[in-house]
Amino acid sequence: MAQETMTVHLKVWRQAGPEESGSFQNYTAENVNPHMSFLEMLDVVNEDLIHKGEEPIEFDSDCREGICGTCGFVINGQAHGEERGTTVCQLHMRSFSDGDTIVIEPWRAKAFPVIKDLVVDRRAFDRIIAAGGYVSVGTGPKPDANSIKVGKDVSDQAFDSAACIGCGACVAACPNASASLFTGAKITQLAMLPQGHPERTRRVREMVHQMQEEGFGNCSNIGECEAVCPKEISLSNIAKMKREYLRAMFSDS
């Protein structure tokens, strides 16, 4: 029996460059296999555009396994689409129906300027990390793995925070374009572990200040960030960041 296929209609944001105005363009994807990922569907659309001598749709992708955080755009008004705990590259066409119209647009945030089409500049996240998201390591022989004891409950919480892949969906979903969930996860990850304590006070100061400098909005605790996060990072990371920041403001170190 022949594999059933789908036809979907796409409204895609096209923008030639950061200084150019953009608009939605209409495309039709025919003979779409329901088992294709969303990005594979766009690959097929782009092959057809290239064959016609037209500019392909620009979008970011790398691992296509939901690990790297490179992919990401808004699908039908929701960051990464409607499937919970899923990146765009893990979203499959079987989540849609034959004849559906799908609206695709880039992350919308002042701190994420559009480079082209669905590609945005997310280097603001890199600068937040560079401002303080590291642990200093002394030179010399490697310490024994068991020389620093870490309780399982603490390591589990740190790992849950470290699961953040920095895709930017939290910013795109937040009405204030806040990066608090991302920054909070990175701060919590290191603050929970003894290896992160030497820079603990300076780290939270520098990372929060850099987040503000980048033009991200303030958190108003709406919760859209947690709802769209493909790794389901908890809002508790934002509360942890605020406690760490308040502690740092009253610290002499």
For 63-93, how does the pLDDT look when each residue is reduced to its tens digit (9 = 90+)? 999 999 999 999 999 999 999 999 999 999 9
Residue found under tokens 């024994």: 144
Give the containing element (helix H, strand E) for 199: none
Mean pLDDT of 211-234: 96
**158: pLDDT confidence band, cut at 50, 70 and 90?**
very high
Residue 97 has pLDDT above 50, yes or no: yes
- Whether residue 212 lies inside any domain: the answer is yes
Q: Residue 11's domain spans which residues?
A: 6-105
With a CB cutoff of 8 Å and minimum separation 6, the contacts of 95 are: 81, 82, 83
CATH number at residue 22: 3.10.20.30
Whether residues 165 and 68 share a domain: the answer is no
Report the number of distinct structural domains present in the chain: 2
Q: What is the mean pLDDT of the chain?
A: 94
Measure the CA–CA gap between 220 and 75, rounded to whole angstroms: 24
β-strand partners of 218 = none
Q: What pLDDT was estimated at residue 1?
A: 43
Measure the CA–CA gap between 18 and 14, rounded to whole angstroms: 11
Domain boundary among 105, 131, 160: 105
Measure the CA–CA gap between 252 and 171, rounded to whole angstroms: 32
Question: CA angle 143-205-201, nearest 5°?
Answer: 40
β-strand partners of 163 = none
**135: pLDDT confidence band, cut at 50, 70 and 90?**
confident
Whether residues 147 and 173 share a domain: the answer is yes
Measure the CA–CA gap between 47 and 226, rounded to whole angstroms: 35
Residue 2 has pLDDT above 60, yes or no: no
- Whether residue 115 lies inside any domain: the answer is no
The distance from CA 230 to its chain's CA centroid, rounded to whole angstroms, is 8
Whether residues 79 and 150 share a domain: the answer is no
Whether residues 99 and 128 share a domain: the answer is no
Whether residues 227 and 177 share a domain: the answer is yes
Whether residues 139 and 204 share a domain: the answer is yes
- Whether residue 222 lies inside any domain: the answer is yes
Whether residues 69 and 128 share a domain: the answer is no
pTM of the model: 0.92
Report the first-to-last Cα separation within the chain, whole angstroms: 70
User: Residue 108 corresponds to which tokens in the numbers above?
Assistant: 């919308």
Residue 59 has pLDDT above 50, yes or no: yes
Q: What pLDDT was estimated at residue 71?
A: 94
Whether residues 64 and 146 share a domain: the answer is no
